[in-house]
Amino acid sequence: MKDSFETTSKPKTVKELVRSSNFWKPAAGAIVGGVAGFMYYYFVGCASGSCAITSNPFLNILFGALTGLFITNSPAKTY
């Protein structure tokens, strides 16, 4: 019985990893998400300071970066 999973070769060196989309796609998603998180803090934010995530810019950047990372590093198959 043949497996239905496709196997792709992973980069073997750090130089190959940095040049591959396996590195840049999630990294770009995390950077864009972090910038979006900071923009949300700056433009929307929380004036009273009682909001758990939006009152702190570092938490907003972290939350945005993780969201961008999870979106771009999705295990779903894309065509």
Give a yes or no: residue 59 inside a domain.
yes
- Examine the pLDDT at 56 and tell me if it is beyond 60: yes
- Examine the pLDDT at 61 and tell me if it is beyond 70: yes
CA 43 to chain centre: 21
Give a yes or no: residue 2 inside a domain.
no
Give a yes or no: residue 35 inside a domain.
yes
Give a yes or no: residue 28 inside a domain.
yes
**Phi and psi at residue 41, to the nearest 5°:** -60, -45
- Examine the pLDDT at 39 and tell me if it is beyond 80: yes
Number of folded domains that form the chain: 1
Q: How many CB atoms lie within 10 A of CB 68?
A: 22
Give a yes or no: residue 5 inside a domain.
no
Give a yes or no: residue 1 inside a domain.
no
* b/e map 17-49, b = 16+ CB within 10 Å: eeeeeeeeebeebbebbbebbbebbeeeeeeee
| pLDDT for the residue numbered 22 | 75
Residue 25 pLDDT grade (very low, low, confident, very high; cuts 50, 70, 90): confident
pTM of the model: 0.70
Give a yes or no: residue 48 inside a domain.
yes
Q: Which domain holds residue 31?
A: 14-72
Give a yes or no: residue 23 inside a domain.
yes
